[in-house]
C-alpha cells in the first residue's frame, strides 16, 4: 500500500491511500471504533507540540508527539480526530483541532496484470509534431515530466490528446466550481471520468495541483513522494495534461496518466 494527499505553499492532491484502504478499518484502544474514510491524505501540525494517542480522546494513552509544521499521513477519521501513520511506522490518533489540511497529493487505481512486452508494445519518444495541440504551458509541463523521466533512465511518456481533452475538462471544472479534489461533483472520480469520455485503460493515475507557474507546480509535484511516483511510474505509458487559469491559485494543473 502506498502512502501519500498550499496556496503558495503549492496545492496538490492524491487518492492512492484512499483506494488502498477500502471502505473502513479498525483501530483498537480502550474502546473499539471504526474509523471513516476521508478525502484528506496529509495534514500539517499547527500546535507547537501535539500528542498522538491510542484513541480519539484525552483519556487514551500518549504514544508519541509531533511538532508544529510536521506533515503527517492521514488514513482515516474518528469523531473529530485523525487516524495517522507516523514516520516511525506506528499508527495513532491526534486531534484535528490543531492541524490543517496539507494540500500535496496523487492517485492510482487497481492495475490488471500486464501482458509480456513485445517490441510493438514499446513507445517511441514523442516528436515535436505530437505537441502541436498543446498550449505553451502544457508543452512546458510535458517536457519537464519527460526530462525527469530521462534523468532516471525511464522511457518518455507519449502525449495522448484524448486524455489531454479530459484533463482540460477536469481542470476547468475545478476552476469554475471552485473545488480541489480528485472527486468531481460533475464527473465523479478521474477513473469514471476517463471511461465516460470513452478512454479505455489497464491502469490510470492522476496528479492535480494549484500554483502560479508550471515550473513551481512541477517542482512541488516532484518534491512529493506520491506525485513523483506517478510521474516516474514505469507502468504508465501515456499522459494528458490540462492547465487553466484559476483565481484562487493562479493556475490549476491536471496530469492524467494511463497504461493502454
In angstroms, the Cα distances linking 170 to 58, 72, 182, 218, 254 are: 42, 28, 9, 18, 7
Exposed/middle/buried for residue 125 (C-beta within 10 Å: 0-12, 13-18, 19+): exposed
Query: Judging by DSSP bridges, how do beta strands 158-159 and 238-246 pair with one another?
Result: parallel
Q: Which residue has the cell 496484470?
A: 113
Q: What band does 12 get if pLDDT is binned at 50, 70 and 90?
A: low
Say what the pTM is: 0.56
Q: Give Dmax over CA atoms of the chain in angstroms.
A: 64
pLDDT in tens, 136-192: 999 999 999 999 999 999 999 999 999 999 999 999 999 999 999 988 999 999 999
For residue 113, name the pLDDT band (cuts at 50, 70, 90). very low
Amino acid at each position: 500500500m502506498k502512502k501519500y494527499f498550499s496556496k503558495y505553499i503549492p496545492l496538490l492532491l492524491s487518492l492512492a491511500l484512499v483506494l488502498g484502504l477500502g471502505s473502513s478499518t479498525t483501530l483498537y484502544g480502550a474502546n473499539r471504533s471504526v474509523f471513516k474514510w476521508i478525502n484528506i491524505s496529509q495534514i500539517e501540525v499547527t500546535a507547537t507540540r501535539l500528542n498522538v494517542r491510542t484513541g480519539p480522546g484525552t483519556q487514551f494513552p500518549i504514544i508519541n508527539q509531533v511538532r508544529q509544521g510536521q506533515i503527517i499521513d492521514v488514513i482515516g477519521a474518528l469523531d473529530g480526530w485523525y487516524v495517522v501513520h507516523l514516520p516511525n511506522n506506528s499508527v495513532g490518533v491526534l486531534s484535528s483541532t490543531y492541524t490543517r489540511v496539507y494540500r500535496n497529493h496523487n492517485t492510482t487505481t487497481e492495475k490488471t496484470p500486464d501482458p509480456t512486452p513485445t517490441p510493438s508494445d514499446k513507445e517511441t519518444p514523442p516528436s515535436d509534431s505530437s505537441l502541436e495541440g498543446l498550449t505553451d504551458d502544457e508543452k512546458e509541463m510535458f517536457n519537464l515530466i519527460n526530462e525527469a523521466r530521462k534523468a532516471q533512465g525511464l522511457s518518455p511518456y507519449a502525449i495522448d490528446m484524448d486524455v489531454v481533452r479530459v484533463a482540460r475538462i477536469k481542470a476547468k471544472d475545478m476552476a469554475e466550481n471552485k473545488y480541489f479534489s480528485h472527486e468531481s461533483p460533475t464527473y465523479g472520480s478521474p477513473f469514471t471520468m476517463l471511461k465516460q469520455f470513452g478512454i479505455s485503460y489497464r491502469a490510470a493515475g492522476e496528479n492535480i495541483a494549484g500554483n502560479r507557474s508550471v515550473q513551481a507546480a512541477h517542482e512541488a509535484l516532484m518534491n512529493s513522494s506520491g506525485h513523483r511516483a506517478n510521474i516516474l511510474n514505469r507502468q504508465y505509458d501515456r499522459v494528458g495534461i490540462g492547465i487553466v487559469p484559476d483565481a484562487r491559485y493562479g493556475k490549476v494543473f491536471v496530469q492524467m496518466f494511463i497504461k493502454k
